[in-house]
């Protein structure tokens, strides 16, 4: 059985792809060139998709021939702005990446996930998102967390894990302009997911 990493071209997704064991692996992102580079030299197959569009997520899962043991949703977007300056296009991009992509992944991915399988979603700690400019990021991440909570009621026999890392040194913080103290590397988050997957599994993975 295989693993699927969604948002594989981002910081945490790339780290996961590079650290994942030598087993059948599917990776997805919007950057086709970056996907090809990540897949080179490992048994990984690439699938380009924009996760905000239901039709693309549906086609992505239709393209998978086998049952999945693990799905990792590592896509995300921030674009922090004060409420008085929010722009519709960026709001849509944030919610597509942080919420609707999770929704479509649950809809089409859970039927592909084996009994006893694991699905991980990268969330956000409330203390890191309660700040000026983070209204849409915080709201979309909170909505995704509640969505995952309800999905657990419908996905018996499968573990759905919300991953709550500290600040992670990725491109998200270049949008903010300052990396918080105590930030961890994407590799540290990836390793924590790998360690959890090797163990009993949990509904919340605080790193």
In whole angstroms, give the CA distance from residue 75 to residue 19: 17
Mean of the pLDDT values across residues 124-144?
90
Task: Assign residue 149 the CATH number of its domain.
Answer: 3.40.50.720
Report the number of distinct structural domains present in the chain: 1
pLDDT tens readout for residues 73-101: 999 988 888 899 999 999 999 999 999 99
Report pLDDT for 33. Answer: 86
* 102: nearest Cα among 48, 152, 143: 143
In whole angstroms, give the CA distance from residue 132 to residue 110: 35
Mean of the pLDDT values across residues 114-124?
95
Helices then strands, counting H and E runs in the chain, come out as 9, 7
In whole angstroms, give the CA distance from residue 202 to residue 199: 9
In whole angstroms, give the CA distance from residue 207 to residue 188: 9
Token pair of 48 as six digits: 């380009």
pLDDT tens readout for residues 34-77: 888 888 877 788 999 999 999 999 999 999 977 999 999 999 98
* Cβ contacts of 21 within 8 Å, gap of 6 or more: 194
pLDDT tens readout for residues 168-207: 888 777 666 677 777 889 999 999 999 999 898 889 999 8
* Alpha carbon distances (Å) from 165 to 11, 92, 122, 125: 13, 24, 8, 7
pLDDT of 16 > 90? The answer is yes
Q: Quote the domain boundaries for residue 123.
A: 2-206
Answer whether 0.85 is exceeded by the pTM.
yes
> Computed from CA positions of residues 97, 113, 161, 40, in that sequence, does the dihedral angle turn out positive or negative?
negative
CB atoms within 10 A of CB 92: 14
């Amino acid at each position: 059985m295989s693993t699927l990493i969604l948002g594989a071209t981002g910081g945490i997704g790339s780290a996961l792809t590079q650290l994942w064991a030598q087993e059948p692996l599917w990776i997805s992102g919007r950057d086709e060139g970056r996907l090809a580079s990540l897949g080179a030299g490992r048994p990984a197959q690439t699938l380009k998709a924009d996760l905000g569009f239901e039709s693309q997520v549906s086609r992505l899962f239709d393209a998978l021939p086998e049952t999945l043991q693990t799905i990792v949703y590592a896509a995300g977007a921030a674009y922090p702005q004060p409420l008085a300056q929010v722009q519709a296009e960026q709001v849509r991009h944030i919610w597509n990446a942080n919420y609707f992509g999770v929704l479509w992944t649950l809809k089409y991915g859970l039927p592909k996930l084996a009994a006893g399988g694991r699905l991980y979603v990268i969330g956000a700690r409330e203390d890191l998102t309660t700040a000026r400019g983070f209204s849409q990021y915080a709201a979309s991440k909170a909505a995704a967390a509640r969505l995952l909570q309800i999905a657990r009621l419908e996905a018996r026999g499968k573990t759905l894990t919300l991953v709550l890392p500290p600040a992670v040194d990725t491109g998200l913080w270049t949008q903010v302009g300052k990396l918080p103290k105590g930030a961890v590397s994407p590799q540290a988050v990836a390793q924590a997911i790998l360690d959890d997957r090797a163990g009993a599994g949990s509904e919340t993975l605080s790193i």
